[in-house]
Each structure stands twice: as C-alpha cells, then as structure tokens.
Amino acid sequence: MRPFKYDRAKKSNDATKMVASNKNAKFLAGGTNIVDLMKENVERPDALVDVNNLELKQIKSMGSNISIGALAKNKDTANHPLIKQNFPLLTQAILSGASAQIRNMATNGGNLNQRTRCVYFYDTATPCNKREPGTGCGAAEGLNRMHAIFGYSDKCVATHPSDMCIALAALDAVVHVEDEKGNKRKILFGAYHRLPGDTPEKDNNLKHGELITSIEIPKNKFANNSYYLKVRDRASYAFALVSVATGLEIKNGIIRKSRIAMGGVAHKPWRAMIAEKELIGKKPSQKLFERAAKMEMERAKPLEHNKYKVTLGERAIVRALKMASA
Amino acid sequence: MRYIGKETSRVDGVAKVTGKARYVAEFPVKNPAYGFIVTSEIAKGSIKSINTEMAMKAAGVLKVYTHQNATKSQAKGNAYTALQSPKIAFSNQPIALVVAETYEQARYAASLVKAEYNKEKPQTDTLEANKVATNKVTRRTPNTRGNTQTGLTNSDVKIEAEYTIPIEHHNPMEMHGAIAFWEGDKLMMFDKSQGVYGVRGHLAQSFGIPAENVKVVSLFVGGAFGASLKPNYYPFMTAMAARDLKRPVKINYTRRQMFQGHGYRPFTYQKIQMGATKDGKLQAVVHESVGNTASYENFQENSSGFGRTLYKVPNYDSKYNLVKTDLPTPVWMRAPGAVSGAFAIESAIDELAYKLKIDPLEMRKINYAEKDPETGKPYSSKELMKCFDVGAKTFGWKKRKLEPRSNKDGNWLVGMGCGIGTWGAWQAPAGAKVTLRADGTVHIGSATADIGPGTYTTMTMIASEFLGIKPNQVKFELGKTEFPRAPSQGGSITTASVGSAIYGASMNIRKKLFDMALKIENSPFIERRVEDTELMNGMLRLKNDSSKSVSVAELLKKNNMTEIVETYQAMPSKERANYTTMGHGIQFAEVKVDEDLGIVKVTKVIEATACGRVINPLTAHSQEMGGMIWGIGMALHEHTEIDHRYGRMMTTNFADYHIPSNADVGYINTEFVEEEDKIVNPLGVKGMGELCLVGAPAAIANAIFNATGKRIRDLPITPDKLI
C-alpha cells in the first residue's frame, strides 16, 4: 500500500475542506471498499480524511420524508424500525448484499460510492479506462459475463455493484451533499450515478470535496407490494448477475404507481421506465408482467458472454412483480 | 478397543482456538525482514529491462532481487525456480523480490518495480493449444482392455458426450508463507508444507549443501489440499534473501497471490463413449481426456484411469492428452484425477441409465465389479454394495422419480442423483520414533504433517491404544526434519503409513518389555508368547488374565533404563500386491432448481463410505463433510477464469472466485460402512479425505438433470447455463 496521510475530521466542514484542498485526497468511512482498492494499488490517494466521527448517523422521519444519515451503517439502516416499516424493499436489498461483517462496517454514503467489481478494474496489469483513462477496456471483448447490457459505452462496460442503490433508485431517493464552502445541494437518485460515456473514471456526479450527508426517501405506498429479487452465482456474498427492485401501489386491484429498478445490468442502477409505464392503470397479471418485462429488455444490447442477462432480466422482472403484487 | 473407533476431540483443538498453535508466519524470530514478490504482467516472452531504482529508494527497502542479481539455484528437474532468467513462461511469474524492514514497506516498494518486456502471444486455451501438434506431450500411451469397437457394436444403447472442468484453485485458509535464517552454512526454514522432507531436499539441492544442513519446520498447516505438496518456489526465494542479507526473512502471501503463478487443478476436457445392452450391462467405455500443463514441465493427472476399476466392463480404452500451455504447472488438488474422471464417468453412466429407463442406482448395481476388472485381483475389502443400500435408505432414494421434471415444490423443481467415488488405499514407507518412559508418558516424533484431518489426534489415539496409556500421557510431534522420515501428507495415506509405524513401534516395545519380563524371577509369562500379552496402565499383562502382570517401570529400573526408544520403519506388506486395495463410497444429492432464474439449491447430500476401520469418527466425519461441501463448490461455483488474450487468470480473489458459503450448504451427512481389512495395513485403515469428494460433483449434476431434464456437462453449473 502506498504511504498516505490520515486525518480524522470532527465537523463536516473540516472534512470537506481537507479533501477539497487536495485533489488526491479521499473520504474514509467504513473503508470496506476503498481500503481493498488501495491494497490492490487501484485507488492511490495520498490522504484519507476519516469522517466516522461526524454526526451523520441518524435515521429519522422528517415530514413526508425519511432521512438516513450518510454514516449510518448498512446493518443499522436495514434493521431500523422506520426503514423496515416504510421501506421493506430497502431492508431486503441491503440484507442481500455483501456479508454480515461487511454490512456491520459499511456506511450508506460509502455504499453509494462503491466502485465496480469488474475484474479488469481490479487488475493493474490489464487495461481499464475507469482505472487508467485511455488504456482501453479489457472487458468489452474479454470476460464480460458479469457486465452491462444497458447504457454502456465503447470506453466501459462495467456495472454498479450495489444492492442498496437499486432499492434507493426504485424509491426515488434524494442524495444530500455539502461542499467545502458549506453549500448544500440535493441530487435526485437517478442523476447521482452516471453512465460511463467518455469519462468512465467518474462513477457519479459528486464534485471533488463534496460529502454526502444524508439520503432522503419520500414516504410512499409501496410497503405492502414491494420485492427485491437478486439472482447470483451463490446464495450469499456474491454480486448480482441481475437484481430487480420493485414497488407497486395497488388500489382496488389496479396498479396506480410502479417502480422497477435493476442491478447488475448497467453502470448505474437502471430504472426500467418502459416496463414501469406499461403497468400503470392495469390489473396485475402474469401476462401484463411478461409484456412489460419484454418491452424493457428488448432494448438490451448484450455483450459476448452476457446474453443470458436479457432472458434472466426479463424473468427476474416478472418474478419480482409477481412477488410484489402477491 | 479403548480409543480407536471412539469419537475423540482434537488434541490440538485448544491450542488452535486459543492461538497457541503456531502457524508458519507466526514463529517469533529476531529482527526479521519482509519479502514481497513482484510478478509478471505478461504471460510469455522475456524481460527486456527491469527498473528497481524507485523501489530501492522507497523507505525501509533493503534489497531488490531480480534475475540479474539472484543466487543461481542448483536445483535439478524442470520445476519452475524463481529469478533465474529473463524468460517469462506464465503470467504472474515472479520477476522480483523486494525485501524491506516491514511488510507494508515491501509491498509498497513492490508496486514501484517496473519491467519492460519482449512480449510474445501466449496460448492458455487448452483446447486451442491441443490443435497444435507441437504442444502435445501425450505421456501415457492408449491403454486398452478388450476391444471397445466390438463392445460398442454389441451395445443396444450408446452415448457419446463431452465434459469440461475449468481450472480451480485450492485456496486453503492459511496462505503460503516461509521464514528462513542461516547460521553459517546451516539453514533453518519454517515453511507451510505438507512434507518437510521434500522441502529439505529441494533446498539442499538448490543451495548445493548437504541435506543435514537444512532444518525444516511446519507444525500446523491451515489447510493445503495439495497446494503445499510439492516444494513451492518461495522457500528458495526466502532462503536466498536471508543468506544474502544475513538476517531472517519472511514471505507471506496475499489471497490474490494464492491464485497467481501456482499449482491448480488443470483444465480438463473429457469425451466418453459408453455402450450397454438393453438390460443395462456395460459393454464398452472409451474415455479420452485432455489436460493442460506448463510449457516447461509436465504434470499429468489420472483422470482417465480411475474409471477403469469402477465397473465390470469387458472393453475399455482410455487415453490422456497432455497439452502445453503458457500457464504455470498444475498440481494435485484434493482427489486429483479421480474427481475429474468421476464427473465424466458418473455423469455418462447416468445418461445411459436414463436412455435405458433404468434407475441410476440399479444401473450401478448391475455393473458392480466384484473383483478388479482391470487386473482380475480380488479387492482386499469392498463394501460398496452395502454403501449403496445404507446410503439410499438414509437419503430416501426410493422417493425419487425416474422421469425428469416430475417432482415439484412450488417454484422449485426437485431432483435426486448419485455418483460413486473410489480412491486408492495406499500406504507409503513411514518412520516414527517412540519413546516410552518409566513414568508412563510417551513421546512420538514423525516428520509427517497435519493439514487439518486430525493427524495429531489419530496418532495419539493409536499410541494410547497399543501402549495401554491415556491420550494425555502421549505427546505426538510432527512437521520437523529432525524426526524420522514420513511421506508428505497427500493422497490420503497418512493414517495407513504413519499409523502403521506407531503400531509397529508399539509392538516392538511390547516385545522388548516381554523379553525383559521373561528374565525376571518367577516371571508370570513363562511359556507364554508375546502375542498373549498387552500393555495396560503401565503394566505388561496377560490378555486373558490381568492378574499376571509386571510393572513397566520396575522392568526398566531392573535393567537400569529410564526409557525405551524404538524407531520403526513401516513398509507396505508384500501381501498387498495380491489384492486391489481401495476405498469406496457413493454420494447422493438432492437439489431444488428454480428453472426460470437458474438458481440451484443443494438441499441434501448423503454419503455412504466404506474406508476400512475409522480411527476417529469425529474428525473423519469432518473430513467427509468438507469433501461434500467441496463437491458443491466444484459442481456449482469454482472457476478460475482466464483471459486468453493476456494469458492471465482474472478471478483471483474470493469476490470473483466463488466457493460455497454457509447458505449454499444444505443438510449433509455421512454413514460409514465399516470394513474389516487385514490385508491393507495392520490397522485396517483406508484414506477417506479425498474419497468423499470424488462422486459428489457428478451426483449434483445428475440431480440437476433429474430436476430439470437439462444435462450440464460443463462445470461449474451457474445460473446462466440453466435458464
């Protein structure tokens, strides 16, 4: 591991100032991803600013929203009564990710900022535009069974690894951030993560020095009809081949609102807007779900080794909708 | 028996859970320096230049070794030796060793070593390499029994199928590590090893010094599975740096390095042709295998050989094509050859059974070999038929439906399958030095290893049994070259080999005491034979009249002795050659498959095993559980993926290389079917640590077929292959 400077911030403003003043500085929260990447020589910050002492751990109801602190642990978030009651989808998604040990350490803010698990990104002997812009993409014509089928570019075909974020995308979360001058802004979840385009080195639209302070989720009526489905290579501690987060608001047997987000298929949590739209105003049925799923997945552009994700994605949407509407 | 056959907790259990058991990297040495290995980014070519300046300038760095300044090894043979030339034969081949004051400094400085290469195009795809004649190094000529052409012609039903198994890595919990230091021309080496004598010989040869000048110690091993069976290349690197720097050097691997530039289970392609009459009698098997090796060294498994003794088949052909690839040399990995071969053969017979509409277990009974079909010799013991019955009953095989897709549980399709496993019941020459002291305590030394099966415990039990003492009076030591030579712990031979040595030594000690006892006044053993006596609680006594006894302590005292020392070398008996000696077993698996999503749950695995006498049912059971879990991993998860463009293994960490998690393991259990075998060795024991794995992957694949009607012949069976 490269030598680096370590500081512990006492206030948000100290933290953002410290990071903003050094373009090679990074925040350190749970450390479950960045420390690994530093050991692998993939992330090479020369300073880490530890934000664990900041007061950003609260999970609370605020009017029509529920706010979850950026530094609340994944485990505490998943098990919090407010979350379990209002957003069982989020609980389910968090608990299907990583391992209990990692969830005990990982924070919500860190979860949003975790980096792809693409094997080329991790291996410094191979090309990767995300790690070293301009070196090429090892996965595009290499081992891409785990890679994107939507929204990728010729520069990068990586996927976002989070489960939590897939639920947050479905739940229309809003990310609250703050910069070194104390400026605060809100980023809609759909605009937080990026598609790779020509700059795959940028995973999200956070500016350097900006710190996530909380994630706000508007209260909704999905709690009774939501489901997180994750298909993976083994039953625990594996990244999604495909995952689907669904939330339905069903009134008098008719779908009034629908949310479908997918993991394992794109550089960011993928909202299946076409399928969502198809469901509105209709009675839940196998046929409807199949049609909606097909319409969404028809737009997929699989790579050499991930053609299965199109079929699997279609079936996973149908199954998740079935489970949610049951 | 007082101890043998009784469940006994590990004698080293407390030491292990309290951290007192020292693994290699934990030995305290004064002022160690730390080495970190830098590896090649390319798979084939040579180093044009290597820049170590930056690394040398980094804090704490003592020295950087490359092929330009490393000691020349005098090791013979083709095994890879590090830093000997600029040639690159595989990706992640060591190109430098950075030694620094701390591990972290060494690891960071390692990232600063930069090499320029003359690159050549690597070939790491075994099947592609196999198309080029110069890559072929077929070592075993085709082996024929009967006439397979005739056999296939006489068959009513035939199948022909191809099976592939990817490269897999051992990944024991403990990573490779070594500590070396020199005192003059004498080398002290702590190495994580399955055989300290092998490492000693390798190092003595490498440095051109007498073997007596090398001491190797490996007291505890956190799993190895074959990864530490041959001397690895890092002990030489460690010892070289220690000699040059005149201080102890320690090398300890990262998890990623455990996948890189090491031994692994080779890629295996197998083609099976199998034919039977309509009543299910096998007529012919043709088994062709292709496996990969390195460009510089041959390593061949016996994947096409194991099947030859499985069934009563009159006509059998097998051949093995060994193919050179630009990968490191493969090595033995738990049940090498056998599990790969069994995946093909045990899948194929299942395919044939379905074609014939014969229950797959019945199919195996129909073709049961009462004697070795290859040699015609009788088995020293073989209770496989009983295993079939016991296993089937415990498992609930009769609930199985022959027709695929006919058993459902909600969204899940339920399937059941089985697979036979066999493993040789070998014995190798082994020595043990047993010291019986007047106070009743016993010390035993043997240079064997305990890589996890519980050797410390079983050897203690055997000594307690035959010397008539309690386990807490025995101190059994292993893993040091100062003890009599024992074989490396591999091939499931340790209990048969080392156990026989302890048994032999115990018998000789009894004989010595008996001879002494005959000489005393009014000896109770006049006109008795040594066989009529036994050692028990510090007495030598008559077996059928314990009142006729002599105190061991007194016997020693009378002879002015404080102890009896017996060094015994146990050899396999000549009688073994008249028999085929093997362990047998069968695994039954139940799976549930969510067909839409391709998800497989292994809900139950039951194994019935006949492996002679079981010394310690507790640790034996653990071994069998581990083997079945390994079978789940091999069937569903494990896969070292290679990007053939770069010739580089890519899934080199536990996030990308999957092994079963707890959630992947359903109910598993073992039934031991005891065998009384007086031929195999004096203790009547057979190896079991690999046997338990052999049939498991096929059993799971067969169960998946029973559930879904889909025959997956390419491991691992991941969701994408099932949807």
A41/A189 same-domain check: no
CB contact under 8 A, A234 and B655: no
Confidence of residue A1 (pLDDT cuts 50, 70, 90): confident
Residue B119 forms contact with A (CB below 8 Å): no
Residue B101 forms contact with A (CB below 8 Å): no
3-state secondary structure of A303: coil
- Judge whether A133 lies within some domain: no
pLDDT tens-digit readout, B405-430:
999 999 899 999 999 999 999 999 99
pLDDT tens-digit readout, A41-54:
999 999 999 999 99
Distance between CA atoms of residues B578 and B379, nearest Å = 9
Distance between CA atoms of residues B450 and B222, nearest Å = 9
- Chain A positions in Cβ-Cβ contact with residue B660 (cut-off 8 Å): 234
A43/A73 same-domain check: no
CB contact under 8 A, B719 and A312: yes
Task: Indicate if the pLDDT at residue B138 is higher than 80.
Answer: no
Distance between CA atoms of residues B233 and B323, nearest Å = 23
Task: Indicate if the pLDDT at residue B112 is higher than 80.
Answer: yes
pLDDT tens-digit readout, B235-250:
999 999 999 999 999 9
CB contact under 8 A, A143 and B650: yes
- The partner residue sitting opposite B720, judged by closest CB among A39, A308, A319, is A308
A197/A321 same-domain check: no
A103/A22 same-domain check: no
Residue B720 forms contact with A (CB below 8 Å): yes
- Judge whether A120 lies within some domain: no
Distance between CA atoms of residues B250 and B24, nearest Å = 10
pLDDT tens-digit readout, A100-132:
999 999 999 999 999 999 999 999 999 999 999
State the angle between helix axes of B234-245 and B196-207 in degrees (0 to 180), rounded to the nearest 10: 50
C-alpha distances (whole Å) from A191 to each of A150, A173, A297, B107, B385 are 16, 10, 22, 39, 65
Q: Give me the percent of chain B exceeding a pLDDT of 90.
A: 97
Q: What is the torsion angle, in degrees rounded to the nearest 10, for the CA atoms of residue B453, residue B457, residue B461 and residue B467?
A: 130
For tokens 């390994």, the residue is B630
Q: Tell me the shortest Cα–Cα distance from A241 to chain B, in angstroms.
A: 9
- Chain B positions in Cβ-Cβ contact with residue A308 (cut-off 8 Å): 598, 719-720, 723
- Chain B positions in Cβ-Cβ contact with residue A40 (cut-off 8 Å): 256
For B666, name the nearest residue in chain A, comparing CA atoms only. A235
- The partner residue sitting opposite B596, judged by closest CB among A2, A234, A319, is A319
CB contact under 8 A, B111 and A312: no
Q: Residue A61 burial by CB count (10 A; 0-12/13-18/19+): exposed, middle or buried? A: exposed
- Judge whether A141 lies within some domain: no
Listed in sequence order, the residues at least 6 apart from B708 whose beta carbon sits closer than 8 Å to its beta carbon are B404, B405, B413, B415, B593, B595, B722
Q: Region B554-582: what's the mean pLDDT?
A: 98
- The partner residue sitting opposite A119, judged by closest CB among B656, B718, B720, is B656
Q: Region B311-336: what's the mean pLDDT?
A: 96
Q: Tell me the shortest Cα–Cα distance from B630 to chain A, in angstroms.
A: 14
Work out the number of other CB atoms within 10 angstroms of the CB of residue B678: 11
CB contact under 8 A, B655 and A117: yes
Q: What is the pLDDT of residue B102?
A: 97
- Specify the CATH number for B24-120+172-258; select among 3.30.70.1060, 3.30.365.10, 2.60.120.260, 1.20.1260.10: 3.30.365.10
Interface residue of B411, B632, B643, B654 to substitute, partner A, most A CBs within 10 Å: B643
CB contact under 8 A, B646 and A125: yes
A212/A229 same-domain check: no
The CATH number that domain B427-571 falls under is 3.30.365.10
CB contact under 8 A, A235 and B601: yes
Confidence of residue A70 (pLDDT cuts 50, 70, 90): very high
CB contact under 8 A, A119 and B597: no
CB contact under 8 A, A234 and B636: yes
3-state secondary structure of A154: coil
Residue B79 forms contact with A (CB below 8 Å): no
- Chain B positions in Cβ-Cβ contact with residue A231 (cut-off 8 Å): 597-599, 719
Q: Tell me the shortest Cα–Cα distance from A277 to chain B, in angstroms.
A: 24
- Chain A positions in Cβ-Cβ contact with residue B598 (cut-off 8 Å): 231, 308, 312
Task: Indicate if the pLDDT at residue B139 is higher than 80.
Answer: no
The CATH number that domain B268-369+378-426+577-722 falls under is 3.30.365.10
Confidence of residue B57 (pLDDT cuts 50, 70, 90): very high
- Judge whether A182 lies within some domain: yes
pLDDT tens-digit readout, A178-226:
999 999 999 999 999 999 999 999 999 999 999 999 999 999 999 999 9
For B38, name the nearest residue in chain A, comparing CA atoms only. A125
CB contact under 8 A, A126 and B723: no
Q: What is the pLDDT of residue A12?
A: 87
Residues A235 and A89: beta-carbon distance below 8 Å: no
pLDDT tens-digit readout, B625-656:
999 999 999 999 999 999 999 999 999 999 99
Q: Tell me the shortest Cα–Cα distance from A56 to chain B, in angstroms.
A: 29
Domain that holds residue A318: 223-325
- Could you tell me which residues of chain A have a Cβ less than 8 Å from any Cβ in chain B? 1-3, 39-41, 117, 119-120, 122-123, 125-126, 138, 141-143, 145, 229, 231-239, 241, 308-309, 311-312, 315-316, 318-319
Q: Tell me the shortest Cα–Cα distance from B651 to chain A, in angstroms.
A: 7
CATH of the domain at A244: 3.30.390.50
Distance between CA atoms of residues B506 and B442, nearest Å = 11
Residues of B with catalytic roles: 690
Q: What is the pLDDT of residue B137?
A: 86
B249-252 vs B33-39, strand pairing mode = parallel
Q: Region B97-102: what's the mean pLDDT?
A: 98
Residue B57 forms contact with A (CB below 8 Å): no
Q: Tell me the shortest Cα–Cα distance from B222 to chain A, in angstroms.
A: 22
- Chain B positions in Cβ-Cβ contact with residue A315 (cut-off 8 Å): 596-597, 723
pLDDT tens-digit readout, B60-93:
999 999 999 999 999 999 999 999 999 999 999 9
Q: Give me the percent of chain B exceeding a pLDDT of 70.
A: 99
Residue B651 forms contact with A (CB below 8 Å): yes
Q: What is the pLDDT of residue B143?
A: 78
**pTM: predicted TM-score of the whole model, two decimal places:** 0.97
pLDDT tens-digit readout, B265-294:
999 999 999 999 999 999 999 999 999 999
If one counts the domains in chain A, the total is 3
CB contact under 8 A, A143 and B658: no
- Judge whether A206 lies within some domain: yes
- Judge whether A121 lies within some domain: no
Residues B682 and B618: beta-carbon distance below 8 Å: no
Residues B610 and B384: beta-carbon distance below 8 Å: yes
A193/A276 same-domain check: no
Confidence of residue B142 (pLDDT cuts 50, 70, 90): low
Distance between CA atoms of residues A266 and A300, nearest Å = 10
Q: Region A140-166: what's the mean pLDDT?
A: 98
A65/A212 same-domain check: yes
- Judge whether A155 lies within some domain: no
Q: Region B571-590: what's the mean pLDDT?
A: 98
CB contact under 8 A, A235 and B664: yes
Confidence of residue B141 (pLDDT cuts 50, 70, 90): low
A93/A208 same-domain check: yes
Q: Residue B184 burial by CB count (10 A; 0-12/13-18/19+): exposed, middle or buried? A: exposed
Q: What is the pLDDT of residue B140?
A: 62
Task: Indicate if the pLDDT at residue B195 is higher than 90.
Answer: yes
- The partner residue sitting opposite A233, judged by closest CB among B653, B658, B663, is B658
3-state secondary structure of B237: helix
A253/A301 same-domain check: yes
pLDDT tens-digit readout, B160-181:
999 999 999 999 999 999 999 9
Distance between CA atoms of residues A178 and A12, nearest Å = 8
Closest CA to A115 of A61, A187, A196: A196
**A-B C-beta contacts closer than 8 Å:** 91
Q: Tell me the shortest Cα–Cα distance from A5 to chain B, in angstroms.
A: 15
CB contact under 8 A, B661 and A233: no
Token pair for B485: 């030579």
Q: Tell me the shortest Cα–Cα distance from A297 to chain B, in angstroms.
A: 15
Closest CA to A283 of A252, A319, A312, A240: A252
- Judge whether A138 lies within some domain: no
